[in-house]
Chain A
Amino acid sequence: MSKYNMHILVCGGTGCLSSQSNLIVENLERYIKEANMENQVQVLKTGCFGFCEKGPIVKILPDNTFYVQVKPEDVEELVKEHVIKGRRVDRLLYQDPTTSEHVEDSKHMDFYKKQQRVALRNCGFIDPDNIEEYIARDGYAALGMALSMSTQEVIDEVKKSGLRGRGGGGFPTGLKWEFASKNAADQKYVVCNADEGDPGAFMDRSILEGDPHSIVEAMAICGYAIGATKGLVYIRAEYPLAVNRLQTAIRSAREYGLLGKNILGTDFEFDIEIKFGAGAFVCGEETALIHSMEGMRGEPTTKPPFPAASGYWGKPTNVNNVETLANIPVIFLKGADWFASIGTEKSKGTKVFALAGKINNVGLIEVPMGTTLREVIYDIGGGIKDGKKFKAVQTGGPSGGCLTEEDLDTPIDFDNLIAKGSMMGSGGMIVMDEDDCMPAVAKFYLEFTEEESCGKCTPCRIGTKRLSEILSKIVSGKGTEEDLEILKELSQVIRDTALCGLGQTAPNPVLSTLNKFEDEYIAHVREKRCPAGQCSALLQYKITDKCIGCTACARVCPVNAITGAVKAKHTIDQEKCIKCGACMEKCKFKAIVKE
């Protein structure tokens, strides 16, 4: 066994690294060696602790001491006091902000664990292909409990939990179940919407890959509640692993009698079939999804009728998103009250976010509703990459909007995000820094929706195309002030007139960036300048006085745009320059700048 009796964990996350955690490690090793204890104490670099606000973090095992904001010069004292003498260094301990007391044992400091795993409870902890591992963690017990309740009691429990749809709309799940349950029919359907299309969001895939039985169980509970015997999972064919795991899960559930006839000895019958989608974004919209499952063109239709009244093949159908369903078993296991105790007044439970963009800890996180953006970006996400300045975060994917510095302390929930001009969406969170040009960001999203528009209604089919054309003009320096006017006018009309949610929300990235960064748009249009320095069409390469006339740039320029005598300052002919950047890369004297 281990020869060490003490481990010192030093955070090697990007945030802590930038505050010299490397030096801390060096110093630790030096002082431990000086004390001749290198055979007893091991120093380890770790990944991010998710507490970057208080970094660098040093944690000492086995006594669980958690030191915060440790500086390299603190190390000597730390080794001499804690390692050698076994005395805690109080001034470096975390101070509880409410009690002002120093917290010694990190076991008592759960408050730094900003994440709470409910939907992702089993992801990464069990073998998804093994039903017994799921059962060992109370799997299918919720179904058993539900089957001993009346259908109305089941619906009431979900209503009481306050669970709202995690796919984007945020519609109360219990209410949705109730609508479907009240529409009498010879056949009803439970549909799991696994058509995750939001660029950058992949929580549904992760749940299906990591915990497929939670979806199978939740669908069966829903089937019991609304009176459906058939479940369908609409999943994109680009998720082969998720499909595979789900198929295995369905097969094992059947073997164990948890799907099929007489489930758990009751009269309840339920089975699940998988339907493949071809990956159209709009097929995440429930009416389009249903049409696609019926073998028709994936196009939305006007609501009403809602699927709860007339869905799959005209029968009452309840459509829930994967993450929504993943919460269902927990609500029964731990009680609706427990679930409702997490989150904000109108948004209960947790939400999974896919953190991406210019952030250090790219990944999948789950936080209670009401967590602030600041906590998500800095304490969990580890802050902005390369120490750059935070500029904005896009939530809600292409249907959402951007939030800025002033919104960082807003508790995240359905209603707050809408009030701030964005939306929850399916939980994509793309972080942007000072180098990101906002009109270019809007253009990126509009190109996505333009591509993904089904083409049914005019505002979306032609409108998003026009929006993206105007944005292209603007970022290439060809935009006019009239274009800005049209951009605003058209965005508003598309929002008011498009047929489905995809179209209605398509202009959001334009409207929100226009709202918060109008000056950037104006700079592009009036001054033909990109303040973020991203739009290459608006940039110029220039040679500064640092040039010594080595001619390297002139030789590398593919279009012979650079001229100048040897040992004299060179110049770039802007007419000829194609902005490839080769000269800048070649210049050893940093004499070429982009502005």
Chain B
Amino acid sequence: MSILNEISQALQSGKAKIVKELVQKAVDEGLSAVNILNSGLLDGMAVIGEKFKNDEIYVPDVLIAARAMNAGTEIIKPLLISSGAKAVGKVVIGTVFGDLHDIGKNLVKMMLEGRGLEVVDLGVNVPAQKFIDMAIQENAQIICCSTLLTTTMPEMEIVVNAAKNAGIREKVTIMIGGAPVNQSYCDKISADIYTADAASAAEEAVKACKAGEA
């Protein structure tokens, strides 16, 4: 089994320590950081994402896999930076005002970091204006809002409107997610991106940042 394959397998079993060792070994053997990231870590995470979608595994499996991925990316991050690859972009993330649930938000955060995005985590119960203030202060390209409750879903629309009022709506991509959220709600409140799972959220975030650069 190639070392990249081993990394992918260890990640899928959530073995953070082994992933870390294997990534270091791969670096020592001269594999490029980008290669390790794409063909080892993200490959493993893609398998996890797919299995989760098909109900073959559950949230704890995804959490430990994402944690293992982060252990691996920690090693290659300095290499990615020194090789001239700058951070893909910056994201401000949080669970909306009134909602205190953060497992989904934390998972998305880990996936974003795995994809090379810089993430500013505002935690839970975040007032709409705080998303905006922090996005401005951090010069973030993306705001990610999470909620588990239908009761607090309207907060997402308040974030969109607050971005308009602050005059940054054109500059910032607003992504929304959480169990009750769907594409039609995203359309209704004129947010930019909805995804059903954390892996696609990270993928879309990368695309949005690249599109912004073009």
Asked whether A and B interact, the reply is no
